[in-house]
Amino acid sequence: MNCCDMLSFEGGDNMKLNPDCIRDILLTVEENVTLKRAIRIPFGNTYLLLEKYPHDVVSYHIRQCQLSGLLYNVRPSTGGSFYIDDLSPAGHDFLSNIRADKNWDKAKSAAKKVGTESLSILVKLAGDIIWNLISKP
């Protein structure tokens, strides 16, 4: 059984993808994982960037990150917490492209203009923004 099979959400509320929550999860994982230690995201979201989100929202977005190949080895634990070993190579690439607020804002704005907040589109847009910056004379 993987983390996606074990997630349950209180109240059965539908979840809507929140791109800022995705970014905050990736930043939190990168900041706290070491070669010898996974990050534990407990029920209650004790990490500064995640405190503003309810636990079920963080759990949902962890699942979306895992399903999209941005996180490596996500494991559910007791009490609704998760262990995450690292970002995947794709997760590192995406985070590198959106680390600067200016680039992140451009990616979100471009996605909104066409009416989508799809994670795959955000990943592509972020890469395109960086390539355009690199190729400018």
For residue 71, what is the domain's CATH number? 1.10.10
35 and 97 belong to one structural domain:
no
- pLDDT exceeds 60 at position 3: no
52 and 80 belong to one structural domain:
yes
- The fraction of the chain above a pLDDT of 70, given in percent, is 88
103 and 38 belong to one structural domain:
no
Q: Helices (H) and strands (E) in the chain — how many of each?
A: 6, 3
The pLDDT of residue 70: 98
What's the whole-model pTM score? Answer: 0.87
- Which has more confidence, 47 or 1? 47
- Crossing angle of the two packed helices 89-98 and 119-135, in degrees rounded to 10: 60
The pLDDT of residue 31: 96
3-state secondary structure of 36: coil
- pLDDT exceeds 90 at position 123: yes
Q: Which of 2-6, 43-47, 94-98 has the lowest mean pLDDT?
A: 2-6
Q: What is the mean pLDDT of residues 4-30?
A: 75
C-alpha pair distances (Å), 86 with each of 34, 77, 95, 107, 132: 8, 16, 12, 24, 28
- Are 29 and 84 within 8 A, CB to CB? yes
Number of domains present in the structure of the chain: 2
* Angle of CA points 70, 124, 26, to nearest 5°: 30
pLDDT averaged over every residue in the chain? 88
C-alpha pair distances (Å), 74 with each of 39, 41, 62, 88: 10, 10, 8, 11
28 and 77 belong to one structural domain:
yes
Domain that residue 84 falls in: 3-88
- pLDDT exceeds 80 at position 18: yes
The pLDDT of residue 51: 93
